Structure 1
Amino acid sequence: MSQEFGGRTGLRGKLTQWLRGGGPKEAAGDGGREALLLAAAKAGLPLAPAAHPAPGYRCSCDRVGCPTPARHPVSFAWQTQSTTDRGQIERWARHQPLANFITATGMVHDVLDVPLEAGREALERLLAAGIDVGPVAESDDGRMLFFTLTRGTPEDEDEWWPCELDCHPETMDEHPGLRWHCRGSYVLVPPARLPGDDGQAVHWVRGPEHPLPDPLTLLEVLTDACARYVGEEPDHANAAWPLRH
């Protein structure tokens, strides 16, 4: 199967209209969105509805000056709401045709979130070395997301890295530019639309049909690639992603 999700350019073409911010009438046709969400759930990624872009680089939520427009869950109970249940996800997708979706990390999977250029370099190196790489998504706002197995609940609670920071303070020099989304965090799951009029989106580079790897098998290459770009990535210090409720 192609490294691109599904290996079918037709499916990606059908998604283009939805990803570029089509209205309810366009989104009602789905264009493959529901199939992609169900594939993610089938792979074990727990999903919950998220906000979506509104005109003028705004968010669909009612929070004035939302700091993470279209990138956060719609419910305060997103951690308990997140599910892989097919029926529930179908209902959400059909009743909320414009909604993005998040996947809650630290349950089944973690996400290693790196600057886009660093991620592309790392992905090329990992594949060339024959290392098993799981699902990978690109966010057009400059990040690449590597989906991995979760580390579970370690005996040492200090092993949990806060996702709001680029790295654990004690390992700043070792993990520049890396965010490790684990328990209590989430990321947007493709397909997702980002604010703006330029059609930015979150999309799969390698789809959820790829098995989740151990994060430690990717970590060395990812951190090495991040070190090359640490002085070049945009300032995300004030992004506060994920938004805490």
Structure 2
Amino acid sequence: MQWTVHRPFVPPALVDRLDRIRLRRAAIRYAEHGWPVTPGARLTGHRFLCGRPGCPIMTCHPALESWEDSASTDLGRVHSWWRHGAYTVLLATGWRFDVLEVPASLGLRVLGTSRLLGAGALGPVAVTAAGRWMFLTRPGSPLRSELDHRLDVVRHGLGSWIPAPPTRMLEGPVRWAVRPERTQWRLPEAEVVQSLLVDALGTVRTPRLTVPRQMSTARRAV
């Protein structure tokens, strides 16, 4: 018997269809739990294409120009968005939840501390392949002064969004470090997570100017 390392050929159309189904299922699941979703530009090669003529944005961004007004939990609308295209899945922030986005050094420390504290200390936590950790919290709380001056910490509130699993970024897929099901889709108070982040600042060696806010997953005025 002769073994081969060659992978079977999968037609691109089938790959696109499977990706579309997977992304649609995720978008519907988020919408079913009251998390507003909006379609994002499709990753094609080394850039994201939204289909809008003349759009100069090459990184991940909303596919709809009026994305903030059209972000929805309506299952019919969500299903229709992913009916014909494998759009990335974006979650609109500031309504049902805010997101605290931090570097991996802080994220890992907070996750470890939360495990010592027990269940309930954290809500869902998503991680990008580029090493950005995104903590979902209840909305409305501004950043504490210890975090607000840091360019590598971003609060996503009204007018912002985050890429949600299983969206693929240029560096790789977004994944859940703490799945929503694990927390029963409950969100912690932002002050609790911010307190854990502030405590972690003194225990990790993090460059102060690692990810400029305008280059983060959040400062994306289209």
Find the counterpart in structure 2 of residue 33 from structure 1: 23
Q: 2:192 aligns with which of 211, 217, 235?
A: 217
Percent sequence identity over aligned pairs: 26
- 2:75 aligned with 1:86, yes or no? yes
Find the counterpart in structure 2 of residue 48 from structure 1: 38
Name the larger-Rg structure. 2
Q: Distance in 1 between matches of 2:78 and 2:201?
A: 35
Q: Aligned AA for 2:174?
A: V
Q: 1:111 aligns with which of 99, 104, 117?
A: 99
List alignment gaps of at least 5 residues for structure 1: 1-21, 152-158, 162-167
Tell me the CA shift for residue 131 of structure 1: 5.1
Tell me the CA shift for residue 100 of structure 1: 0.5
Q: Aligned AA for 1:82?
A: A
Contact 2:93/2:159 (8 A) holds in 1: yes
When the two structures are superposed, what TM-score results if normalisation uses the length of structure 2? 0.79
Q: Distance in 1 between matches of 2:180 and 2:13?
A: 27
Cα displacement string for residues 90-139 of structure 1 (whole angstroms, at most 9, x for unaligned residues): 22122222x11211111111001110221011111012112511111110
Find the counterpart in structure 2 of residue 101 from structure 1: 89
Distance 1:96 1:183, change over 3 A: same
Q: Distance in 2 between matches of 1:78 and 1:205?
A: 27
Contact 1:73/1:101 (8 A) holds in 2: no
When the two structures are superposed, what TM-score results if normalisation uses the length of structure 1? 0.72
Task: Give 3-state SS (helix, strand or coil) of 1:94's partner.
Answer: coil
Q: Distance in 2 between matches of 1:186 and 1:58?
A: 19
RMSD in angstroms over aligned alpha carbons?
2.5
Find the counterpart in structure 1 of residue 134 from structure 2: 145
- 2:203 aligned with 1:190, yes or no? no
Number of positions where the alignment pairs a residue of Structure 1 with one of Structure 2: 201
Give the structure, 1 or 2, with the largest relative contact order (CA under 8 Å, sep 6 or more). Answer: 1
Find the counterpart in structure 2 of residue 203 from structure 1: 175
List alignment gaps of at least 5 residues for structure 2: 1-10
Tell me the CA shift for residue 183 of structure 1: 1.2
